[in-house]
Structure 1
Amino acid sequence: MATPTSIPVDKLARLLGTPGCPVLLDVRTDEDFAADPRLIPGAMRRPWGDVAAWAGALFGRNAIVICRRGQKLSHGVAAWLRQEGVPAEVLEGGTNAWYAAGLPMVPADKLPARDALGRTVWVTRARPKIDRIACPWLIRRFVDPAAVFLFVPPSEVEAVAEGFGGAPFDIDSPEVFWSHRGERCSFDVMVEELTLGTEPLRRLAAIVRGADTARLDLAPEAAGLLAASLGLSRMYADDLAQLDAGMLLYDAFYRWCRDATDETHNWPTNKPKPGG
Protein backbone atom coordinates (compact mmCIF):
# COMPACT_ATOMS: atom_id res chain seq x y z
CA MET A 1 0.00 0.00 0.00
CA ALA A 2 1.29 3.46 -0.93
CA THR A 3 2.23 5.75 1.95
CA PRO A 4 3.54 9.34 2.13
CA THR A 5 7.01 7.90 2.75
CA SER A 6 7.08 5.38 -0.10
CA ILE A 7 8.05 5.58 -3.76
CA PRO A 8 6.53 3.48 -6.57
CA VAL A 9 8.64 1.29 -8.82
CA ASP A 10 8.05 3.37 -11.95
CA LYS A 11 9.22 6.57 -10.26
CA LEU A 12 12.43 4.95 -9.01
CA ALA A 13 13.05 3.52 -12.48
CA ARG A 14 13.05 7.09 -13.85
CA LEU A 15 15.59 8.19 -11.25
CA LEU A 16 18.07 5.41 -12.01
CA GLY A 17 21.11 6.51 -13.98
CA THR A 18 20.67 10.18 -13.12
CA PRO A 19 23.00 12.23 -10.90
CA GLY A 20 20.13 13.04 -8.54
CA CYS A 21 19.22 9.44 -7.76
CA PRO A 22 19.00 8.89 -3.98
CA VAL A 23 21.15 6.35 -2.19
CA LEU A 24 19.57 2.92 -2.65
CA LEU A 25 19.85 0.65 0.37
CA ASP A 26 19.10 -3.05 0.09
CA VAL A 27 18.26 -4.24 3.62
CA ARG A 28 16.89 -7.70 2.79
CA THR A 29 17.71 -10.43 5.26
CA ASP A 30 20.62 -12.70 4.38
CA GLU A 31 18.12 -15.47 3.74
CA ASP A 32 16.09 -13.38 1.31
CA PHE A 33 19.20 -12.17 -0.48
CA ALA A 34 20.56 -15.72 -0.79
CA ALA A 35 17.26 -16.74 -2.43
CA ASP A 36 17.72 -14.01 -5.07
CA PRO A 37 21.29 -12.62 -5.00
CA ARG A 38 20.65 -9.73 -7.35
CA LEU A 39 20.50 -6.02 -6.69
CA ILE A 40 18.40 -3.21 -8.06
CA PRO A 41 20.91 -1.21 -10.13
CA GLY A 42 22.98 1.06 -7.90
CA ALA A 43 21.77 -0.47 -4.63
CA MET A 44 24.14 -1.16 -1.74
CA ARG A 45 23.62 -3.95 0.76
CA ARG A 46 23.32 -2.77 4.35
CA PRO A 47 22.44 -4.88 7.44
CA TRP A 48 19.09 -3.68 8.73
CA GLY A 49 19.92 -4.59 12.31
CA ASP A 50 22.96 -2.29 12.34
CA VAL A 51 21.21 0.81 11.00
CA ALA A 52 22.19 2.82 14.08
CA ALA A 53 25.85 2.23 13.24
CA TRP A 54 25.76 3.26 9.58
CA ALA A 55 22.95 5.82 9.41
CA GLY A 56 25.23 8.76 10.22
CA ALA A 57 27.31 8.21 7.08
CA LEU A 58 24.25 9.13 4.99
CA PHE A 59 23.70 12.55 6.51
CA GLY A 60 23.05 15.16 3.82
CA ARG A 61 21.74 12.61 1.31
CA ASN A 62 18.32 11.21 0.46
CA ALA A 63 17.77 7.45 0.64
CA ILE A 64 15.40 4.80 -0.64
CA VAL A 65 15.21 1.63 1.45
CA ILE A 66 14.52 -1.71 -0.22
CA CYS A 67 13.52 -5.07 1.22
CA ARG A 68 11.81 -8.06 -0.36
CA ARG A 69 8.21 -6.88 -0.12
CA GLY A 70 8.44 -3.25 1.03
CA GLN A 71 7.09 -3.97 4.48
CA LYS A 72 8.42 -3.96 8.04
CA LEU A 73 12.18 -4.12 7.40
CA SER A 74 12.32 -1.24 4.94
CA HIS A 75 9.76 0.86 6.84
CA GLY A 76 11.64 0.36 10.09
CA VAL A 77 15.02 1.26 8.58
CA ALA A 78 13.56 4.28 6.74
CA ALA A 79 11.97 5.55 9.96
CA TRP A 80 15.28 5.17 11.77
CA LEU A 81 17.08 7.09 9.04
CA ARG A 82 14.53 9.90 9.20
CA GLN A 83 15.00 10.30 12.94
CA GLU A 84 18.73 10.61 12.21
CA GLY A 85 17.99 13.48 9.80
CA VAL A 86 18.24 11.45 6.58
CA PRO A 87 15.19 11.85 4.30
CA ALA A 88 14.21 8.27 3.47
CA GLU A 89 11.48 6.53 1.50
CA VAL A 90 10.56 2.87 1.02
CA LEU A 91 10.31 1.17 -2.37
CA GLU A 92 6.69 0.04 -2.71
CA GLY A 93 6.56 -3.74 -3.07
CA GLY A 94 10.33 -4.09 -2.67
CA THR A 95 12.44 -6.26 -4.95
CA ASN A 96 9.41 -8.47 -5.66
CA ALA A 97 7.58 -5.56 -7.32
CA TRP A 98 10.72 -4.44 -9.16
CA TYR A 99 11.21 -7.91 -10.63
CA ALA A 100 7.52 -8.26 -11.49
CA ALA A 101 7.76 -5.02 -13.50
CA GLY A 102 10.46 -6.59 -15.69
CA LEU A 103 13.13 -4.11 -14.61
CA PRO A 104 16.84 -5.02 -14.61
CA MET A 105 18.66 -6.43 -11.61
CA VAL A 106 22.44 -6.77 -11.26
CA PRO A 107 23.83 -10.22 -10.33
CA ALA A 108 25.89 -9.68 -7.18
CA ASP A 109 28.32 -12.49 -8.02
CA LYS A 110 29.56 -10.53 -11.05
CA LEU A 111 30.83 -7.68 -8.86
CA PRO A 112 34.29 -7.49 -7.27
CA ALA A 113 34.56 -7.84 -3.51
CA ARG A 114 34.01 -4.59 -1.63
CA ASP A 115 36.69 -2.85 0.39
CA ALA A 116 36.51 -2.01 4.10
CA LEU A 117 34.30 1.01 3.30
CA GLY A 118 31.88 -1.03 1.19
CA ARG A 119 33.14 0.21 -2.19
CA THR A 120 33.98 -1.78 -5.31
CA VAL A 121 37.44 -1.11 -6.76
CA TRP A 122 38.21 -1.10 -10.50
CA VAL A 123 41.61 -0.77 -12.19
CA THR A 124 42.40 0.26 -15.75
CA ARG A 125 44.98 1.93 -17.97
CA ALA A 126 45.90 5.56 -17.45
CA ARG A 127 45.03 8.30 -19.97
CA PRO A 128 41.46 7.22 -20.75
CA LYS A 129 39.64 8.17 -23.93
CA ILE A 130 36.24 6.49 -24.45
CA ASP A 131 35.68 3.01 -22.97
CA ARG A 132 37.64 3.88 -19.83
CA ILE A 133 35.31 6.81 -19.14
CA ALA A 134 32.10 5.11 -20.35
CA CYS A 135 32.61 2.05 -18.12
CA PRO A 136 33.20 4.06 -14.92
CA TRP A 137 30.12 6.13 -15.75
CA LEU A 138 28.04 2.95 -16.10
CA ILE A 139 29.39 1.58 -12.81
CA ARG A 140 28.86 4.81 -10.86
CA ARG A 141 25.33 5.31 -12.19
CA PHE A 142 24.03 1.71 -12.25
CA VAL A 143 26.24 -0.48 -10.06
CA ASP A 144 28.10 1.30 -7.26
CA PRO A 145 27.86 5.09 -6.84
CA ALA A 146 30.87 5.00 -4.49
CA ALA A 147 33.08 2.89 -6.79
CA VAL A 148 36.82 3.60 -6.75
CA PHE A 149 38.76 3.81 -10.03
CA LEU A 150 42.53 3.41 -10.19
CA PHE A 151 44.26 4.56 -13.39
CA VAL A 152 47.74 3.02 -13.69
CA PRO A 153 50.33 2.21 -16.39
CA PRO A 154 49.08 -0.56 -18.72
CA SER A 155 51.76 -2.99 -17.62
CA GLU A 156 50.65 -2.68 -13.98
CA VAL A 157 46.86 -3.03 -14.29
CA GLU A 158 46.55 -6.71 -13.44
CA ALA A 159 49.10 -6.62 -10.63
CA VAL A 160 47.51 -3.55 -9.04
CA ALA A 161 44.07 -5.13 -9.32
CA GLU A 162 45.30 -8.26 -7.56
CA GLY A 163 47.14 -6.34 -4.87
CA PHE A 164 44.31 -3.93 -4.09
CA GLY A 165 41.36 -6.29 -4.46
CA GLY A 166 40.03 -4.64 -7.58
CA ALA A 167 38.66 -5.74 -10.95
CA PRO A 168 40.83 -4.96 -14.00
CA PHE A 169 38.96 -3.69 -17.05
CA ASP A 170 39.51 -2.57 -20.64
CA ILE A 171 42.94 -4.11 -21.07
CA ASP A 172 44.16 -6.49 -23.76
CA SER A 173 44.66 -9.67 -21.76
CA PRO A 174 42.97 -13.08 -22.06
CA GLU A 175 42.79 -13.19 -18.26
CA VAL A 176 40.68 -10.04 -17.94
CA PHE A 177 36.92 -10.61 -17.85
CA TRP A 178 35.82 -6.99 -18.33
CA SER A 179 37.34 -6.20 -21.70
CA HIS A 180 36.68 -6.28 -25.45
CA ARG A 181 35.15 -9.44 -26.91
CA GLY A 182 35.22 -9.68 -30.66
CA GLU A 183 33.54 -6.56 -32.06
CA ARG A 184 32.10 -5.61 -28.69
CA CYS A 185 33.89 -3.09 -26.50
CA SER A 186 34.19 -3.22 -22.71
CA PHE A 187 31.07 -1.09 -22.26
CA ASP A 188 29.05 -3.62 -24.29
CA VAL A 189 30.38 -6.44 -22.12
CA MET A 190 29.44 -4.67 -18.89
CA VAL A 191 25.93 -3.87 -20.09
CA GLU A 192 25.43 -7.52 -21.05
CA GLU A 193 27.08 -9.24 -18.08
CA LEU A 194 25.41 -6.96 -15.54
CA THR A 195 22.02 -7.49 -17.27
CA LEU A 196 21.53 -3.77 -17.80
CA GLY A 197 20.34 -4.06 -21.39
CA THR A 198 17.52 -1.52 -21.34
CA GLU A 199 16.73 0.19 -24.62
CA PRO A 200 18.48 3.48 -23.67
CA LEU A 201 21.64 1.68 -22.55
CA ARG A 202 21.71 -0.51 -25.67
CA ARG A 203 21.41 2.64 -27.77
CA LEU A 204 24.23 4.27 -25.80
CA ALA A 205 26.33 1.10 -26.15
CA ALA A 206 26.13 1.35 -29.94
CA ILE A 207 27.36 4.94 -29.78
CA VAL A 208 30.23 4.01 -27.45
CA ARG A 209 31.19 1.01 -29.61
CA GLY A 210 31.21 3.14 -32.74
CA ALA A 211 33.42 5.80 -31.14
CA ASP A 212 35.73 3.34 -29.37
CA THR A 213 36.34 1.01 -32.32
CA ALA A 214 36.46 3.61 -35.13
CA ARG A 215 33.15 2.30 -36.51
CA LEU A 216 31.49 5.68 -36.83
CA ASP A 217 28.91 4.12 -39.16
CA LEU A 218 27.29 2.28 -36.21
CA ALA A 219 25.52 5.40 -34.92
CA PRO A 220 25.39 8.98 -36.20
CA GLU A 221 26.21 10.21 -32.68
CA ALA A 222 29.45 8.18 -32.46
CA ALA A 223 31.48 10.88 -34.23
CA GLY A 224 30.30 13.47 -31.72
CA LEU A 225 31.19 11.27 -28.76
CA LEU A 226 34.63 10.60 -30.26
CA ALA A 227 35.28 14.31 -30.78
CA ALA A 228 34.12 15.25 -27.27
CA SER A 229 36.14 12.43 -25.69
CA LEU A 230 39.34 13.37 -27.48
CA GLY A 231 38.78 16.98 -26.54
CA LEU A 232 38.42 16.07 -22.86
CA SER A 233 41.60 14.00 -23.02
CA ARG A 234 43.47 17.13 -24.19
CA MET A 235 41.87 19.36 -21.56
CA TYR A 236 42.75 17.27 -18.51
CA ALA A 237 46.16 15.94 -17.51
CA ASP A 238 44.67 14.29 -14.42
CA ASP A 239 42.70 11.12 -15.20
CA LEU A 240 40.30 11.52 -12.26
CA ALA A 241 39.54 15.12 -13.23
CA GLN A 242 38.83 13.89 -16.75
CA LEU A 243 36.52 11.20 -15.34
CA ASP A 244 34.60 13.84 -13.35
CA ALA A 245 34.12 15.89 -16.52
CA GLY A 246 33.24 12.79 -18.52
CA MET A 247 30.46 11.87 -16.09
CA LEU A 248 28.52 14.95 -17.21
CA LEU A 249 29.16 14.08 -20.87
CA TYR A 250 27.73 10.58 -20.47
CA ASP A 251 24.87 11.85 -18.33
CA ALA A 252 23.88 14.01 -21.30
CA PHE A 253 24.23 11.20 -23.85
CA TYR A 254 22.22 8.84 -21.64
CA ARG A 255 19.38 11.33 -21.19
CA TRP A 256 19.31 11.86 -24.95
CA CYS A 257 19.16 8.09 -25.48
CA ARG A 258 16.36 7.78 -22.93
CA ASP A 259 14.26 10.88 -23.52
CA ALA A 260 15.16 12.91 -26.57
CA THR A 261 15.90 10.74 -29.62
CA ASP A 262 12.75 11.96 -31.40
CA GLU A 263 13.34 15.62 -30.66
CA THR A 264 14.72 17.93 -33.32
CA HIS A 265 16.00 21.48 -33.14
CA ASN A 266 14.67 24.12 -35.52
CA TRP A 267 16.16 27.58 -35.72
CA PRO A 268 13.43 30.16 -34.99
CA THR A 269 12.43 32.39 -37.87
CA ASN A 270 10.53 35.64 -38.13
CA LYS A 271 9.36 34.86 -41.64
CA PRO A 272 5.62 35.67 -41.86
CA LYS A 273 3.33 32.68 -42.22
CA PRO A 274 1.35 32.49 -45.47
CA GLY A 275 -1.82 34.51 -45.10
CA GLY A 276 -0.66 35.83 -41.72
Structure 2
Amino acid sequence: MSTFTTISSEKLARLIGTANAPVLIDVRTEEDFAADRRLIPGSIKLSHETVAEWGGDFAGRSAIVSCLRGAKLAQGTAAWLRQLGAEAETLEDGFEGWKAAKLPLLDTRKLPPRDAKGRTVWVTRARPKVDRIACPWLIRRFVDPNAVFLYVAPSEVVAVGQRFNAAPFDIENVFWSHRGELCTFDVMIEEFGIATPPLLRLATLVRGADTARPDLAPEAPGLLAASLGLSRMYDDDLEQLEAGMLLYDAFYRWCRDATAETHNWPTNKAKA
Protein backbone atom coordinates (compact mmCIF):
# COMPACT_ATOMS: atom_id res chain seq x y z
CA MET A 1 0.00 0.00 0.00
CA SER A 2 1.33 3.44 -0.95
CA THR A 3 2.47 5.89 1.74
CA PHE A 4 3.16 9.60 1.58
CA THR A 5 6.69 8.83 0.31
CA THR A 6 5.75 6.03 -2.11
CA ILE A 7 3.52 5.76 -5.13
CA SER A 8 1.91 2.66 -6.65
CA SER A 9 2.53 1.55 -10.21
CA GLU A 10 -1.14 2.04 -11.04
CA LYS A 11 -1.12 5.64 -9.85
CA LEU A 12 2.14 6.43 -11.61
CA ALA A 13 0.79 4.96 -14.85
CA ARG A 14 -1.98 7.61 -14.73
CA LEU A 15 0.61 10.39 -14.52
CA ILE A 16 2.94 9.29 -17.30
CA GLY A 17 2.28 11.07 -20.59
CA THR A 18 0.53 14.03 -19.01
CA ALA A 19 1.83 17.58 -19.09
CA ASN A 20 2.37 17.72 -15.32
CA ALA A 21 4.00 14.31 -14.90
CA PRO A 22 6.78 14.18 -12.31
CA VAL A 23 10.40 13.57 -13.22
CA LEU A 24 10.97 9.80 -13.34
CA ILE A 25 14.45 8.70 -12.26
CA ASP A 26 15.72 5.13 -12.60
CA VAL A 27 18.65 4.41 -10.26
CA ARG A 28 19.06 0.68 -10.82
CA THR A 29 22.65 -0.49 -10.66
CA GLU A 30 24.45 -1.01 -13.96
CA GLU A 31 24.29 -4.77 -13.33
CA ASP A 32 20.51 -4.70 -12.82
CA PHE A 33 20.02 -2.42 -15.83
CA ALA A 34 22.16 -4.68 -18.01
CA ALA A 35 19.86 -7.59 -17.13
CA ASP A 36 16.83 -5.68 -18.46
CA ARG A 37 17.60 -2.52 -20.40
CA ARG A 38 14.01 -1.35 -20.59
CA LEU A 39 12.78 1.73 -18.76
CA ILE A 40 9.48 2.88 -17.37
CA PRO A 41 8.25 5.27 -20.11
CA GLY A 42 9.52 8.81 -19.65
CA SER A 43 12.31 7.83 -17.26
CA ILE A 44 15.87 9.12 -17.17
CA LYS A 45 18.70 6.83 -16.00
CA LEU A 46 20.97 8.29 -13.32
CA SER A 47 23.37 6.86 -10.74
CA HIS A 48 22.45 6.83 -7.06
CA GLU A 49 26.15 7.17 -6.28
CA THR A 50 26.27 10.76 -7.58
CA VAL A 51 22.87 12.03 -6.40
CA ALA A 52 24.56 14.71 -4.27
CA GLU A 53 25.99 16.14 -7.53
CA TRP A 54 22.94 16.03 -9.79
CA GLY A 55 20.11 16.13 -7.24
CA GLY A 56 20.06 19.92 -7.03
CA ASP A 57 18.93 20.07 -10.65
CA PHE A 58 15.51 18.88 -9.49
CA ALA A 59 15.00 21.34 -6.62
CA GLY A 60 11.42 22.57 -6.55
CA ARG A 61 10.21 19.75 -8.80
CA SER A 62 8.28 16.55 -8.18
CA ALA A 63 10.23 13.34 -8.74
CA ILE A 64 9.57 9.60 -8.57
CA VAL A 65 12.60 7.38 -8.02
CA SER A 66 12.71 3.69 -8.91
CA CYS A 67 15.31 1.00 -8.37
CA LEU A 68 14.97 -2.74 -8.88
CA ARG A 69 12.55 -3.41 -6.01
CA GLY A 70 11.89 0.00 -4.48
CA ALA A 71 14.23 -0.54 -1.53
CA LYS A 72 17.51 1.04 -0.41
CA LEU A 73 18.69 2.67 -3.65
CA ALA A 74 15.39 4.38 -4.41
CA GLN A 75 14.72 5.24 -0.76
CA GLY A 76 18.17 6.73 -0.26
CA THR A 77 18.11 8.66 -3.53
CA ALA A 78 14.65 10.07 -2.80
CA ALA A 79 15.80 11.13 0.67
CA TRP A 80 18.77 12.94 -0.85
CA LEU A 81 16.48 14.67 -3.36
CA ARG A 82 14.22 15.85 -0.57
CA GLN A 83 17.31 17.14 1.24
CA LEU A 84 18.16 19.11 -1.92
CA GLY A 85 14.71 20.65 -2.27
CA ALA A 86 12.79 18.23 -4.48
CA GLU A 87 9.44 16.63 -3.68
CA ALA A 88 10.57 13.04 -4.11
CA GLU A 89 8.74 9.74 -3.75
CA THR A 90 9.74 6.17 -4.55
CA LEU A 91 7.95 3.69 -6.77
CA GLU A 92 6.40 0.97 -4.64
CA ASP A 93 8.08 -2.39 -5.42
CA GLY A 94 10.26 -0.63 -8.00
CA PHE A 95 10.95 -1.73 -11.54
CA GLU A 96 10.04 -5.33 -10.76
CA GLY A 97 6.65 -4.26 -9.41
CA TRP A 98 5.96 -2.22 -12.54
CA LYS A 99 6.93 -5.18 -14.70
CA ALA A 100 4.77 -7.57 -12.65
CA ALA A 101 1.81 -5.26 -13.23
CA LYS A 102 2.38 -5.77 -16.99
CA LEU A 103 2.62 -2.05 -17.64
CA PRO A 104 4.46 -0.72 -20.74
CA LEU A 105 8.25 -0.64 -20.77
CA LEU A 106 10.38 1.41 -23.14
CA ASP A 107 12.83 -0.55 -25.30
CA THR A 108 16.01 1.52 -24.91
CA ARG A 109 17.82 -0.51 -27.57
CA LYS A 110 15.96 1.54 -30.18
CA LEU A 111 17.06 4.89 -28.75
CA PRO A 112 19.58 6.96 -30.72
CA PRO A 113 22.90 7.83 -29.03
CA ARG A 114 22.71 10.52 -26.36
CA ASP A 115 24.70 13.75 -26.40
CA ALA A 116 27.10 14.94 -23.70
CA LYS A 117 24.15 16.12 -21.59
CA GLY A 118 22.36 12.76 -21.83
CA ARG A 119 19.75 13.92 -24.35
CA THR A 120 18.62 12.17 -27.51
CA VAL A 121 18.82 14.44 -30.57
CA TRP A 122 16.44 14.19 -33.52
CA VAL A 123 16.27 15.95 -36.88
CA THR A 124 13.48 16.34 -39.42
CA ARG A 125 12.11 18.64 -42.11
CA ALA A 126 11.26 22.23 -41.27
CA ARG A 127 7.70 23.62 -41.34
CA PRO A 128 6.02 20.68 -39.55
CA LYS A 129 2.36 19.83 -39.86
CA VAL A 130 1.20 16.57 -38.20
CA ASP A 131 3.75 13.74 -37.78
CA ARG A 132 6.65 16.14 -37.14
CA ILE A 133 4.81 17.59 -34.14
CA ALA A 134 3.12 14.36 -32.99
CA CYS A 135 6.41 12.41 -32.87
CA PRO A 136 8.26 14.99 -30.74
CA TRP A 137 5.26 15.06 -28.39
CA LEU A 138 5.43 11.26 -28.07
CA ILE A 139 9.19 11.33 -27.46
CA ARG A 140 9.04 14.12 -24.87
CA ARG A 141 6.14 12.53 -22.97
CA PHE A 142 7.06 8.82 -23.14
CA VAL A 143 10.65 8.37 -24.33
CA ASP A 144 13.04 11.18 -23.43
CA PRO A 145 11.66 14.27 -21.67
CA ASN A 146 14.86 16.19 -22.47
CA ALA A 147 15.00 15.32 -26.18
CA VAL A 148 16.24 17.95 -28.64
CA PHE A 149 14.58 18.48 -32.04
CA LEU A 150 16.26 20.09 -35.02
CA TYR A 151 14.12 21.36 -37.91
CA VAL A 152 16.14 21.89 -41.09
CA ALA A 153 15.70 22.13 -44.86
CA PRO A 154 14.38 18.81 -46.26
CA SER A 155 17.47 18.33 -48.43
CA GLU A 156 19.78 18.59 -45.41
CA VAL A 157 18.08 16.27 -42.91
CA VAL A 158 20.32 13.24 -43.49
CA ALA A 159 23.54 15.27 -43.63
CA VAL A 160 22.66 17.19 -40.46
CA GLY A 161 21.88 13.89 -38.78
CA GLN A 162 25.33 12.59 -39.66
CA ARG A 163 27.24 15.72 -38.67
CA PHE A 164 25.35 16.39 -35.43
CA ASN A 165 24.73 12.79 -34.33
CA ALA A 166 20.96 13.27 -34.63
CA ALA A 167 18.38 10.65 -35.57
CA PRO A 168 16.46 11.61 -38.74
CA PHE A 169 12.71 11.00 -38.68
CA ASP A 170 9.70 11.40 -40.94
CA ILE A 171 11.64 11.47 -44.17
CA GLU A 172 12.03 8.74 -46.78
CA ASN A 173 14.57 5.92 -46.50
CA VAL A 174 15.31 6.19 -42.77
CA PHE A 175 14.39 3.90 -39.87
CA TRP A 176 11.94 6.33 -38.24
CA SER A 177 9.57 6.85 -41.13
CA HIS A 178 6.28 5.71 -42.67
CA ARG A 179 5.91 1.97 -43.26
CA GLY A 180 3.11 0.86 -45.51
CA GLU A 181 -0.08 2.44 -44.18
CA LEU A 182 1.55 3.34 -40.87
CA CYS A 183 2.86 6.84 -40.25
CA THR A 184 5.99 7.62 -38.24
CA PHE A 185 3.99 8.09 -35.04
CA ASP A 186 2.66 4.51 -35.39
CA VAL A 187 6.16 3.19 -36.01
CA MET A 188 7.59 4.85 -32.91
CA ILE A 189 4.88 3.43 -30.67
CA GLU A 190 5.52 -0.04 -32.07
CA GLU A 191 9.32 0.05 -32.04
CA PHE A 192 9.58 1.51 -28.55
CA GLY A 193 7.08 -1.04 -27.21
CA ILE A 194 4.89 1.55 -25.49
CA ALA A 195 1.49 0.74 -27.02
CA THR A 196 -1.51 1.38 -24.79
CA PRO A 197 -5.17 1.72 -25.82
CA PRO A 198 -5.10 5.56 -25.52
CA LEU A 199 -1.89 5.86 -27.55
CA LEU A 200 -3.21 3.50 -30.22
CA ARG A 201 -6.41 5.51 -30.44
CA LEU A 202 -4.38 8.70 -30.79
CA ALA A 203 -2.22 7.00 -33.43
CA THR A 204 -5.33 6.37 -35.52
CA LEU A 205 -6.17 10.08 -35.37
CA VAL A 206 -2.61 11.04 -36.31
CA ARG A 207 -2.54 8.56 -39.18
CA GLY A 208 -5.87 9.82 -40.51
CA ALA A 209 -4.74 13.45 -40.36
CA ASP A 210 -1.24 12.77 -41.71
CA THR A 211 -2.13 10.48 -44.62
CA ALA A 212 -5.35 12.11 -45.91
CA ARG A 213 -7.52 9.33 -44.44
CA PRO A 214 -10.32 11.19 -42.62
CA ASP A 215 -12.35 7.98 -42.73
CA LEU A 216 -10.10 6.42 -40.06
CA ALA A 217 -11.56 8.52 -37.24
CA PRO A 218 -14.16 11.30 -37.13
CA GLU A 219 -11.71 13.40 -35.10
CA ALA A 220 -8.91 13.19 -37.69
CA PRO A 221 -10.12 16.18 -39.77
CA GLY A 222 -10.20 18.27 -36.60
CA LEU A 223 -6.63 17.31 -35.75
CA LEU A 224 -5.55 18.18 -39.29
CA ALA A 225 -7.34 21.54 -39.15
CA ALA A 226 -5.73 22.43 -35.81
CA SER A 227 -2.31 21.32 -37.07
CA LEU A 228 -2.54 23.38 -40.24
CA GLY A 229 -3.78 26.33 -38.22
CA LEU A 230 -0.76 26.14 -35.92
CA SER A 231 1.56 25.99 -38.92
CA ARG A 232 0.07 29.30 -40.11
CA MET A 233 0.25 30.92 -36.67
CA TYR A 234 3.96 30.30 -36.06
CA ASP A 235 6.95 31.13 -38.23
CA ASP A 236 9.32 29.54 -35.70
CA ASP A 237 9.12 25.74 -35.79
CA LEU A 238 10.15 25.37 -32.13
CA GLU A 239 7.45 27.81 -31.02
CA GLN A 240 4.99 25.78 -33.07
CA LEU A 241 6.23 22.61 -31.36
CA GLU A 242 5.62 24.12 -27.92
CA ALA A 243 2.08 25.09 -28.92
CA GLY A 244 1.57 21.66 -30.48
CA MET A 245 2.54 19.97 -27.22
CA LEU A 246 -0.59 21.42 -25.63
CA LEU A 247 -2.68 20.29 -28.60
CA TYR A 248 -1.50 16.69 -28.29
CA ASP A 249 -1.78 16.77 -24.51
CA ALA A 250 -5.46 17.57 -25.01
CA PHE A 251 -6.05 14.91 -27.65
CA TYR A 252 -4.23 12.32 -25.53
CA ARG A 253 -6.37 13.07 -22.48
CA TRP A 254 -9.48 12.84 -24.65
CA CYS A 255 -8.30 9.45 -25.97
CA ARG A 256 -7.61 8.24 -22.44
CA ASP A 257 -10.40 9.76 -20.37
CA ALA A 258 -13.17 11.44 -22.34
CA THR A 259 -14.22 9.50 -25.43
CA ALA A 260 -17.57 8.54 -23.90
CA GLU A 261 -18.44 12.09 -22.86
CA THR A 262 -20.80 14.17 -24.99
CA HIS A 263 -21.97 17.76 -24.90
CA ASN A 264 -25.67 18.53 -25.07
CA TRP A 265 -26.10 22.24 -24.41
CA PRO A 266 -28.44 23.76 -25.26
CA THR A 267 -30.92 20.97 -24.66
CA ASN A 268 -33.68 20.65 -27.22
CA LYS A 269 -36.63 20.79 -24.90
CA ALA A 270 -40.07 20.91 -26.45
CA LYS A 271 -41.71 24.31 -26.10
CA ALA A 272 -44.78 24.52 -23.88
2:109, 2:66 → 1: CA distance? 19
* Cα pair distance change 1:63/1:225, threshold 3 Å: same
Q: What are the superposed Cα offsets for residues 196-250 of structure 1, whole Å, 9 maximum, x if unpaired?
A: 1100000000000000000110011000000000000000000000000000000
- Given the alignment of the two structures, is residue 259 of structure 1 paired with residue 257 of structure 2, yes or no? yes
Distance, in Å, in 2 between the alignment partners of 1:188 and 1:97 is 28
Q: Say whether the 8 Å CA contact 2:205–2:220 is kept in structure 1.
A: yes
The whole-number CA distance in structure 1 between the counterparts of 2:156 and 2:8 is 45
Give CA deviations for 1:30-88 in whole Å, capped at 9, x if unaligned. Answer: 00000000000000000110101101111221110010100000000000000011110
The whole-number CA distance in structure 2 between the counterparts of 1:73 and 1:272 is 66
1:3 to partner: Cα distance: 3.2
Match of 1:189 in 2: 187
Q: Distance in 1 between matches of 2:269 and 2:185?
A: 46
Pairing 1:135–2:130 present: no
Q: Deviations over 1:174-197 (max 9, x none)?
A: xx1100001100000001001111
Structure 2 CA distance for aligned equivalents of residues 58 and 5 of structure 1: 17
Instruction: Rate the CA distance shift 1:47–1:273 in 2: closer, same or farther, 3 A.
Output: farther
- Identify the match of residue 232 of structure 1 among 217, 230, 250: 230
The 10-residue stretch of structure 1 (71-80 or 151-160) with the greater mean CA deviation from structure 2: 151-160
Alignment of 1:238-249 (within 5 A): 238-249=236-247
CA RMSD of aligned residues (A): 1.3
Q: Paired residue for 2:9?
A: 9
Unaligned ranges ≥5, structure 1: none
User: In the TM superposition, what is the alpha-carbon distance from 1:271 to its structure 2 partner?
Assistant: 4.2
In the aligned structure 2, how far is the partner of 1:11 from the partner of 1:222?
Answer: 30
Letter in 2 for 1:246: G
Q: Alpha carbons of 1:2 and 1:269: their partners in 2 closer, same or farther (altered >3 Å)?
A: closer
Match of 2:197 among 196, 199, 202: 199
Query: Aligned with 1:81: secondary structure?
Result: helix
Q: Aligned partners of 1:212, 1:4: CA distance in 2, in Å?
A: 44
Residue 234 of structure 1: SS of its match in structure 2?
A: helix
Deviations 1:145-192 (Å, cap 9, x if unpaired)?
Answer: 11100000111111111111111100012xx11000011000000010
Structure 2: which 5+ runs fail to align? none
Matched residue, 2:115: 115
Identity, in percent, stands at: 70
